[in-house]
Amino acid sequence: MLSKKIEQAINKQINAELASAYLYLGMSAYFNEVSLVGFANWMRAQYDEELFHAMKMYDYVLERGGNISLDTVQAPPQAWNNIIEVFEAVLAHEQKITQSINRLVTLAMSEQDHATVNFLQWFVDEQVEEEASVSELLAQIKLVGGQGSGLFMLDREAAQRKFIQPAE
């Protein structure tokens, strides 16, 4: 059974993951509006991934006898000045989520909840991958100055991304 502190903290993280999904869905809409459908697809895959993260935590709370407490999700920004600004926001957001996951692990360790520490390790590893993936794409976008034929090549590459749910 989860302690109330752990239950509340994971519920807060579930809401953060849902807010992340909403943010990426908004970014997907923005990219569709500016005719960068490959990046729209990339963000849609990101949206799907964040929903998966939220539901993985949701199921864990229920499995451990806890209760789910959903909160209001704030509307994401509707527009950005350029693609570099969007991906800088994505990287900053993923870094914020990493900090949040790390705080959860620290709490689980302080509560001596070894099952939750073990469960959260998947998310720790996932955040390393998330930050690396976004950092690499941001660097490539900056290399082409966020415009021109290089951007369209990156857009075409982003169109190939698909979220594949990890095997449990």
Q: Report pLDDT for 1.
A: 87
CA–CA gap between residue 128 and residue 130 (Å, rounded): 6
| Rounded CA separation 23/73 (Å) | 10
Q: Residues 16-40: pLDDT tens digits?
A: 999 999 999 999 999 999 999 999 9
Half-sphere exposure of 89 (CA within 13 A, CB side): 17
Q: Does pLDDT of 168 surpass 80?
A: no
Nearest to 46 by CA among 69, 73, 72, 19: 19
- Characterise 20 by phi-psi region: left (phi > 0), alpha (psi -120 to 50), beta (else): alpha
Structural domains in the chain, sorted by start: 4-158 (1.20.1260.10)
- 95 has a pLDDT exceeding 80: yes
Predicted confidence at residue 166, as pLDDT, reads 83
| H helical segments located in 64-164 | 83-110, 114-143, 148-158
Angle, in degrees to the nearest 10, between helices 4-33 and 37-63: 170
What would the mean pLDDT of 1-17 be, rounded to a whole number? 97
Can you tell me the distance from the alpha carbon of 24 to that of 45, in angstroms, rounded to the nearest whole number?
A: 9
